[in-house]
Structure 1
Amino acid sequence: MVKHWLLALATVLIVSGCSSRKAPAPLSILNSQPEHIPSAFDVETYEVVAGDTLFAVAWYSGNDYRDLAKWNNIYPPYTLSIGQKLQLRPPEAQTVAKNPSGRTSEKSHKTPVASSKKQAYGGNQEVVNKRTSVPNDAATTTPKIGEFPARVAKWTWPAQGKVIERFKAKGDVNKGIDIQASKGSPIVAAAAGRVVYTGSALRGYGNLIIIKHTDTFLSAYAHNDRILVNEREWVAAGQQIATMGNSGTNLVKLHFEVRYRGKSLDPMRYLPSQQ
C-alpha cells in the first residue's frame, strides 16, 4: 500500500513539474509569409560608421545600392559621412520632398567615409542590427521583366558538385554553403531576378555576383572564375551567370548565400532536397 502511495505521489510531482515548464520557443517556420515577419526585420534607418560604404550597407541591409542612393539623394561616387543616417526602405514622397538632402538628421556630417566601388564591400560588414527570425517567399507566379515578384517562384541549385561546407550561424560562422566542382563548371541563378552587383570588392568573396529576387531577398555567388552577366541584367532561374573558380580563395568552389533584408539564411532550407 505504501509503495502504491509513493508511486502515485511521484507521478503527481512529475506531471506538475512538466506542466510548470515554459513551452519551448516556437521554431522559425520558413513557410511563413512576409506579413508574419516580426518587426525586428523592419529596420528603417542606419547610421554610418567608419569603414562603411554605400555598397556594403546595401548588401548587409538587403538592398540594391542604386535604390539606397535614390532614397537618400546620394550621387556617384557615393560618398558617405560618419554619423549620416541612411533610409533603408523606400521613403514616402512627402518625406523626400521635405528633405531634399536625403538625410534624416540635422547633424553636420564632416567626416567622409570611403565610397569607391573598389572598396565597396570592405570595412564594417555588420551593418544592420542583428535579427533572429527566418522568412520564406514561396510563390506561384512569374514576375514581369522589370518588376520584382512578391515571392520567389522557384529555387534551384546554383551549381552541381559536392557540398563541402554548410551554413553555420554560431562558432566557426559560415553565412552560406560551399559547393566544390571542377574549375569552369557552370554556375546558374538560383532564382529569377535582377543582377544588382558584379565585381571583386567584397573582401574574401573574390569575383562576386549578387542577384535581387524580391524586394527583400538577395542571393550571392562568390569566388567565380568568369562572370557572364552584367549589372541591371534580368536573369531566369537556372540561367548560367558565371563559371566556377577560386578567386579570393585557395580552393575551386562556389560560396552561395541567401539573405532576407540582410539576414543570412541557410540556403539548404530553400534548395530542392536533391542536388
Structure 2
Amino acid sequence: MSKQKNLKLGWSALLVGVLLVGCAQTNQAPVETRTGFGRTTTVDPATLPGAENAGKPGYYTVKPGDTLIRIGLEHGQSWKDIARWSNLENPNAIEVGQVVRVVPPGAAPGEGRPSTPPTTTTASSSPVQGTALPPAGATSTPAPPPVPAAAPSADAAGLGLIWPASGTVIGTFNETTNKGVDIAGKAGDPVVAAAAGKVIYVGEVRGYGQLIIIQHSKDYLTAYGHNQKLLVKDDQNVKKGQNIAEMGSTDTDRVKLHFELRRQGKPIDPLRYLPKR
C-alpha cells in the first residue's frame, strides 16, 4: 500500500512539473499585475495600444502617474492633438505601458522635442584645399575668438513676454525641483497672459492645481498654476496682458502663481526672457 502511495505521489509531482514547464513556455511575454475594483488582472504590455511603436522617436510610453495633460505639457503639445494622433477613444483612460504619439503624423522624428542650439562655425586648424599658406617666418594677425552661440530666445520667436503677475518672485527656476518661477500675491490677484496665444488647456492637474496652458507658437507655450478661479476656456484666443485667472493656492501651501515657459516641451528659465524689474 505504501509503495502504491509513493508511486501516486511521484506521478503527481511529475505532472505538476510538466504543467509548470508548459506555462513557462507559453507565457514568455512580460506581464504586469494590476489590482482594482476588487479584482486582480494580468496585462501583457505587448497587447496595449501602440505597443508596436514603443521606443520609436516621436512616441512616448505611459508611466505610472501620467495623464495626457502632463504628457502634452512635457512635449509642448496639446493633449487634444496627442489624443487625435494616437486614435484614443477615451483620453481619460490611458494605461501604464500604452504608447502615444507626441509629434504630428508625417513630422520629422525629432520634431516637437528640444533641438540643439546652433553653434558657431570656427576655422579649422588644418590647411584648406585651395588656400595659400603664409611664407615661413611671416607673421599673421591672430583670428578673433569665436562668438558664443546665443541660446534660443523667446523674443526671437516674437513673443515679447510680460510679467503674468505683479508680485515678488519667491521661487526661482531649477530643472529638477522647480520648472518655472513662483510669484507671490494675494488671493484674487489678477493673472494675465504673458503673450498672445491660444488656450490649449484649462482645468485641474495634480501638482499644478487649477492650471491654464497657452500655446504661443509651434515652439513656445506658457503655463499658469495654482489659480483659484479660471477666466478663460479651451481653444480661446487671448491677447497679451489679458486677465486669464485669479491667483490662488490650489494644490500648494500658499497663495502664489507658478509660471512656466517651455520651448518644444523643455522648461526654460522665464527670468531670462521676462523684462527686468
Does residue 155 of structure 1 match 2:161?
yes
Task: Give the match for residue 231 of structure 2.
Answer: 228
CA distance in 1, matches of 2:245, 2:221: 17
Task: Give the match for residue 178 of structure 2.
Answer: 174
Q: How does 1:181-192 map to 2 (within 5 A)?
A: 181-192=185-196
Count of residues paired in the alignment: 185
Q: How does 1:69-80 map to 2 (within 5 A)?
A: 69-80=83-94
Within the candidate set 198, 202, 209, 2:202 is matched to 198
Does residue 85 of structure 1 match 2:99?
yes
Q: Which moves more between the two structures, 187-196 or 76-85? A: 76-85
**For the Cα contact (< 8 Å) 1:152–1:191, is it kept in 2?**
no
Deviation at 1:132, TM superposition (A): 8.1
**For the Cα contact (< 8 Å) 1:182–1:252, is it kept in 2?**
yes
TM-score, length-scaled by structure 2: 0.60
**For the Cα contact (< 8 Å) 2:154–2:160, is it kept in 1?**
no
Within the candidate set 138, 153, 165, 1:136 is matched to 153
Does residue 65 of structure 1 match 2:52?
no
Structure 1 unaligned runs (5+)? Answer: 1-42, 94-127, 140-150
Match for 1:135: what amino acid? P
Does residue 250 of structure 1 match 2:253?
yes
Structure 2 residue matching 1:92: 3-state secondary structure: coil
Match for 1:154: what amino acid? G
CA distance in 1, matches of 2:254, 2:239: 28
Structure 2 residue matching 1:80: 3-state secondary structure: coil
Match for 1:174: what amino acid? N
Does residue 165 of structure 1 match 2:182?
no
Distance 1:81 1:204, change over 3 A: closer
Task: Give the match for residue 213 of structure 2.
Answer: 210
**For the Cα contact (< 8 Å) 1:168–1:175, is it kept in 2?**
yes
CA distance in 2, matches of 1:263, 1:174: 13
Distance 1:233 1:137, change over 3 A: same
Distance 1:153 1:56, change over 3 A: closer
CA distance in 1, matches of 2:256, 2:116: 28
**For the Cα contact (< 8 Å) 2:186–2:247, is it kept in 1?**
yes
Q: Which moves more between the two structures, 211-220 or 233-242? A: 211-220
Structure 1 residue matching 2:206: 3-state secondary structure: coil
Q: Which structure has the greater CA radius of gyration?
A: 2
Deviation at 1:248, TM superposition (A): 1.3
Q: Percent identity?
A: 45
CA distance in 1, matches of 2:207, 2:97: 27
Deviation at 1:87, TM superposition (A): 2.0
Distance 1:74 1:182, change over 3 A: same
1 or 2 for the larger relative contact order (CA 8 Å, sep ≥6)?
Answer: 1
Query: Which deviations, in whole Å up to 9, do the C-alpha atoms of 1:71-120 show, x marking residues without a partner?
Result: 22223344334433322111129xxxxxxxxxxxxxxxxxxxxxxxxxxx
CA distance in 2, matches of 1:63, 1:78: 16
Match for 2:267: what amino acid? S
**For the Cα contact (< 8 Å) 1:224–1:245, is it kept in 2?**
yes
Structure 2 residue matching 1:219: 3-state secondary structure: strand
TM-score, length-scaled by structure 1: 0.61
Structure 2 residue matching 1:215: 3-state secondary structure: coil
**For the Cα contact (< 8 Å) 2:75–2:113, is it kept in 1?**
no
Match for 2:159: what amino acid? A
Match for 1:192: what amino acid? A
**For the Cα contact (< 8 Å) 1:154–1:237, is it kept in 2?**
no
**For the Cα contact (< 8 Å) 1:181–1:253, is it kept in 2?**
yes
**For the Cα contact (< 8 Å) 1:48–1:86, is it kept in 2?**
yes
